């Protein structure tokens, strides 16, 4: 009869274990490894074998432990349950299983290196009973110190524990005390079982039961901590990655960025407050801008303080971290010599624990981030520090990006200011404008429409008027803003340096050649092409320094660093657009102006002789194959490029004495 009842009880236990096992995520190998001894399922293929007699009682107790313990520990592996309550239930199970007269649960406070009695229904701070973790005190303090189990038959006669079990009550004689230690060596709690003088002392079977159960609980705590750490790490990585994408995609105020970062850091680490320090690179000493939370209830927005903090001489934890570049974890603020209470005396804020970490770039410290007071714990743990390290990497990235953005913003504003100054200095003299306006037309030379004509020294003063004549002839007077065109021509003249060859005289000659080409082929080119080609000829060597592209590359000139190819030609185009953007010389829409800008760039870049030889070869192939099509956009580009180069080199085709003077100017 008893055998039948025992069989049914075992079957019920196995069924309960199976049901609990079904709720466990089987993909978690660590979880399965930890709980395997307690939820083992008997398979048909398993061979039955006879147990050794000395283990029968031990196995009986393990198999008959209450299912609530298995259920709670299984839940603990997957959820963040009340661990203290679970440990109390475990202690009660061990009390019942070992037939102890009583049980006491002690929790370990690693920050203060103390243990305290945990009351099942009362967790108040004011009435905690604490003992220092050391020898020569109570049994539980000794076990927490050694991190080893202890079984004493007669506690009254043991001189190692002058304070006994630490409390008065039943006549305690036999004590079985076991620590709950995680696999990485951290003592989390101590369970103390005792029997009175009228009971037999604890035996080895009782000890085995306690060791197995507490060992399993310690492993479960460790696994849960690892799981939660990985979960928080993943959440932190996902959040910061999304945050990084957000701030790289658009420009965001630094206050908003820091608010979001600190807010999530507080949530992830379970901190009460957060502070962000940004080191000022331009300051001679170690100064920083400080961002702190508002004083309003529930306000989490970070506000920038009006006064910078001098961290070089500051006695705060942030100052220490900024100077040393090392992370500081203050576990007990008031017992740590590094912590000063000056600020708290003014604000009334009570600091218990601090985690402060530098934000480091490749070669210097960008800032410091600090969180204060662990909410769901006594202090910040090693896993919190590891999370904070990941957090600081993203902070460094965000700060680096912010600094780059600020530098770019300042540089843009400086460039805008310099551009305004440049345009002011480029404006022609008011007397020249007035003189040009009063005398905008001159007598055109008799052979001006021939390629062989070249401006004489006597005609140099009339070159601006002749340029206006050429533009008016090819474009049409109705298409021109005359006043703006006059200012444009004089500005272009001013931007040519007094070089022997690359000067305004050369630009005028190139414009004259292009003028003749366009006048003889008006039907060939579109109106927008004519407008751009005549202006490109005039502007193609603006602000030429008298050096070649090869020389600029060999000397690593600023322009060579700015442009990869066609260095001078790109620069000439940029100067031309600087002048044009301030003057509307043609009557055209914005869309037409954009087309004009592109045509102008293609035309000026075509004056690079390195490009000319490529264009010439392609055009020669089209002509030899009788495939040239003027309506083909690519073919038209080649034709316009050849027109620009021909005009640029047309001085060599002038009468001998003119060509001789030009060649002597070049060399």
For the ranges 207-221, 262-276, 390-404, the lowest mean pLDDT is seen at 390-404
Residue 40 has pLDDT above 80, yes or no: no
**Does residue 390 carry a pLDDT above 70?**
yes
Q: State the pLDDT confidence band at 249, using cuts at 50, 70 and 90.
A: low
pLDDT at site 310: 77
Judge contact between 375 and 270, C-beta under 8 A: yes
Tokens describing residue 438: 């009063």
Q: What is the pLDDT of residue 571?
A: 95
- What average pLDDT does this structure show over 246-262? 69
> pLDDT of 70-122, one tens digit each?
444 445 445 555 678 888 888 888 888 888 988 888 888 876 788 888 887 66
Contact assessment for residue 347 and residue 325, using Cβ atoms and an 8 Å cutoff: no
Tell me what pLDDT residue 248 has: 60
User: pLDDT at position 608, please?
Assistant: 93
Interval 399-417 mean pLDDT: 85
Question: How much is the pLDDT for 218?
Answer: 80
Instruction: Give just the sign of the alpha carbon dihedral 76, 79, 82, 83.
Output: positive
CATH T-level assignment (fold) for domain 2-229? Beta-Lactamase (3.30.450)
pLDDT value, residue 53: 44
pLDDT band at 640 (very low <50, low <70, confident <90, very high): very high
Which one, of 279, 360, 351, lies nearest residue 312 by Cα?
Answer: 279
Say if residues 72 and 81 touch (Cβ distance below 8 Å).
Answer: yes
Q: Among 45-49, 354-358, 609-613, 655-659, which is the least confidently predicted range?
A: 45-49
Task: Quote the pLDDT of residue 209.
Answer: 87
What separation in angstroms does the CA of 49 have from each of 3, 4, 63, 209, 230?
18, 20, 17, 22, 41
Confidence band, pLDDT 50/70/90 cuts, at residue 524: very high
Q: On the CB side of 10, how many CA atoms lie within 13 Å of its CA? A: 12
For the question of residue 502 being annotated catalytic, the response is yes
Rounded CA separation 263/384 (Å) = 15
Least-confidence region, from 190-194, 342-346, 379-383, 494-498: 342-346
Residue 126 banded pLDDT, cuts 50, 70, 90? low
Assess whether pLDDT exceeds 80 at residue 465. Answer: yes
C-alpha pair distances (Å), 218 with each of 34, 70, 180:
10, 14, 5
- Say yes or no to pLDDT of 378 above 70: yes
**Does residue 304 or residue 652 have the better pLDDT?**
652
pLDDT of residue 276 exceeding 70, the answer is yes
With a pLDDT cut of 70, the percent of the chain lying above it is 79
Tens digits of residue pLDDT in 486-496: 999 999 999 99
Q: Evaluate if residue 316 carries a pLDDT over 90.
A: no
Tell me what pLDDT residue 352 has: 85
How sure is the predictor about 575, in pLDDT bands with cuts at 50, 70 and 90?
Answer: very high
- Identical fold for domains 2-229 and 430-440+461-666, yes or no, is no
Residue 317 has pLDDT above 70, yes or no: yes
Question: Cβ of 398: how many Cβ atoms within 10 Å?
Answer: 24
In angstroms, what CA-CA distances link 654 with 442, 449, 647?
23, 14, 12
Q: How far apart are CA 514 and CA 536, in angstroms?
A: 9
Annotated binding site for Zn(2+): 506, 540-541, 648
DSSP tag of 166 = S
**What pLDDT is stored for residue 553 in this prediction?**
92
* CA 21/CA 19 separation, integer angstroms: 5
Q: Return the bridge partners of 189, or none.
A: 107, 180
| CA distance linking residue 582 with residue 580, whole number of Å | 5
Instruction: Please write down the HEC assignment for all residues of 311-366.
Output: CCCCCCHHHHHHHHCCCEEECCHHHCCCCCCHHHHHHCCCCCCEEEEEEECCCCEE
For 187-253, where are the alpha helices, taking DSSP H only?
A: 204-249
Q: Which of 261-275, 385-399, 414-428 has the highest mean pLDDT?
A: 414-428
- Mean pLDDT of the region 31-57: 43
Domain boundaries, given as residue ranges, for the chain: 2-229, 251-408, 430-440+461-666
Of residues 222, 502, 544, 572, which has the active-site annotation? 502
Specify the DSSP class assigned to residue 52: P
pLDDT value of residue 500: 92
Predicted local distance difference test score (pLDDT) of residue 526: 94
Q: Is the pLDDT of residue 11 over 70?
A: no
Looking at residue 25, its pLDDT comes to 47
Contacts of 320 (CB under 8 A, 6+ apart): 328, 338, 356
Instruction: Report the alpha-carbon distance of residue 444 to residue 470 in Å, rounded.
Output: 10
Q: Is residue 538 within 8 Å of 511, Cβ to Cβ?
A: yes
Instruction: Tell me what pLDDT residue 37 has.
Output: 44
Please tell me the least confidently modeled range out of 55-69, 87-101, 198-212, 454-468.
55-69
What is the percentage of the chain residues whose pLDDT exceeds 90?
A: 31
Domain 251-408 classified CATH 3.40.50.150? Answer: no
Residue 284: pLDDT band (50, 70, 90) is: low
CB atoms within 10 A of CB 567: 23
pTM of the model: 0.60
| Per-residue pLDDT at 186 | 82
- Is pLDDT larger for residue 545 or for residue 156? 545
What is the pLDDT confidence band of residue 221, given thresholds at 50, 70 and 90?
Answer: confident
Average pLDDT in the 419-442 region?
86
Q: Where are the alpha helices (DSSP H) in 454-589?
A: 463-475, 482-495, 504-520, 527-539, 549-554, 558-562, 567-580
Joined together, the tokens standing for residue 281 give: 């690179």
Return the top range by mean pLDDT from 169-173, 377-381, 584-588: 584-588
pLDDT at 347: 56
Mean pLDDT over each residue of the chain, to the nearest integer:
80
Place of tokens 């194959």: 625
* pLDDT of 160 over the 90 cut: no
CATH of domain 430-440+461-666: 1.10.1300.10
Mean pLDDT of 591-612: 94
The mean pLDDT of 289-300, rounded to a whole number, is: 67
- pLDDT, one tens digit per residue, over 223-247 is 777 777 777 777 767 766 676 666 5
């Amino acid at each position: 009869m008893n055998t039948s009842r025992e069989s049914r009880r075992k079957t019920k236990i196995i069924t309960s274990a199976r049901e609990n096992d079904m709720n466990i995520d089987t993909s978690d190998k660590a979880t399965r490894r930890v709980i395997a001894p307690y939820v083992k399922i008997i398979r048909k293929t398993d061979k039955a074998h006879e147990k050794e007699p000395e283990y029968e009682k031990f196995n009986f107790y393990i198999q008959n432990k209450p299912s609530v313990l298995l259920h709670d520990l299984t839940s603990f592996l997957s959820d963040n349950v009340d661990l203290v309550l679970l440990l109390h239930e475990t202690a009660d199970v061990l009390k019942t299983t070992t037939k102890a007269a009583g049980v006491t649960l002690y929790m370990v406070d690693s920050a203060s290196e103390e243990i305290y009695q945990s009351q099942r229904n009362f967790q108040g701070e004011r009435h905690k009973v604490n003992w220092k973790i050391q020898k020569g005190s109570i049994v539980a303090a000794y076990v927490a110190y050694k991190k080893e189990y202890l079984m004493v038959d007669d506690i009254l006669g043991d001189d190692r524990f002058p304070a006994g079990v630490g409390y008065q009550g039943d006549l305690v004689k036999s004590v079985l005390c076991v620590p709950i230690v995680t696999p990485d060596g951290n003592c989390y709690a101590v369970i103390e079982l005792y029997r009175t003088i009228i009971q037999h002392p604890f035996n080895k079977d009782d000890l085995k039961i306690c060791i197995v159960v507490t060992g399993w609980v310690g492993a479960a705590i460790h696994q849960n901590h690892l799981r939660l750490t990985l979960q928080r790490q993943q959440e932190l990585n996902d959040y910061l990655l999304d945050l990084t994408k957000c701030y790289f995609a658009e420009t965001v105020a630094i206050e908003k960025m820091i608010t979001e970062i600190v807010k999530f850091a507080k949530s992830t680490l379970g901190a009460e407050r957060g502070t962000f320090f940004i080191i000022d690179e331009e300051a001679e000493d170690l100064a920083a801008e400080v961002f702190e939370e508002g004083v309003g209830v529930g306000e989490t927005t970070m506000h920038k303080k009006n006064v910078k903090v001098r961290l070089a001489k500051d006695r705060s934890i942030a100052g220490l971290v900024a100077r040393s570049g090392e992370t500081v974890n203050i576990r007990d603020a008031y017992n740590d010599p590094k912590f000063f209470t000056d600020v708290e005396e003014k604000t009334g804020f009570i600091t218990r624990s601090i985690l402060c970490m530098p934000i480091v770039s490749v070669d210097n410290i960008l800032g410091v981030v600090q969180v204060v007071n662990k909410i769901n714990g006594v202090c910040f743990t090693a896993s919190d520090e590891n999370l904070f390290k990941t957090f600081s990497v993203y902070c460094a990235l965000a700060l680096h990006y912010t600094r780059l953005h600020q530098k770019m913003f300042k540089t843009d504003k400086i460039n805008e200011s310099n551009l305004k100054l440049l345009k002011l200095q480029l404006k022609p003299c008011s007397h020249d404008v007035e003189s040009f306006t009063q005398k905008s037309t001159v007598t055109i030379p008799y052979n001006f429409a021939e390629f062989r004509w070249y401006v004489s020294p006597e005609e140099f003063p009339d070159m601006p008027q002749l340029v206006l004549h050429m533009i008016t002839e090819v474009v049409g007077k109705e298409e021109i803003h005359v006043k703006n065109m006059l200012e444009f021509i004089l500005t272009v003249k001013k931007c040519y340096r007094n070089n022997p060859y690359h000067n305004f005289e050369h630009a005028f000659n190139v414009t004259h050649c292009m003028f003749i080409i366009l006048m003889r082929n008006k039907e060939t080119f579109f109106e927008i092409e004519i407008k751009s080609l005549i202006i490109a000829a005039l502007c193609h060597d603006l602000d030429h320094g008298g050096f070649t592209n090869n020389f600029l590359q060999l000397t690593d000139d600023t322009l060579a660093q700015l442009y990869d190819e066609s260095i001078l030609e790109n620069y000439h185009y940029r100067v031309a657009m600087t002048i044009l953007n301030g003057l509307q010389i043609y009557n055209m829409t914005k869309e037409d102006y954009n087309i004009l800008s592109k045509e102008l760039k293609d035309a000026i870049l075509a004056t690079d002789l390195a490009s000319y030889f490529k264009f010439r070869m392609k055009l020669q192939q089209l002509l030899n194959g009788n495939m040239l099509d003027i309506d083909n956009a690519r073919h038209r580009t080649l034709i316009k490029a050849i027109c620009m180069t021909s005009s640029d080199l047309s001085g060599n085709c002038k009468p001998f004495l003119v060509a001789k003077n030009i060649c002597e100017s070049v060399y």
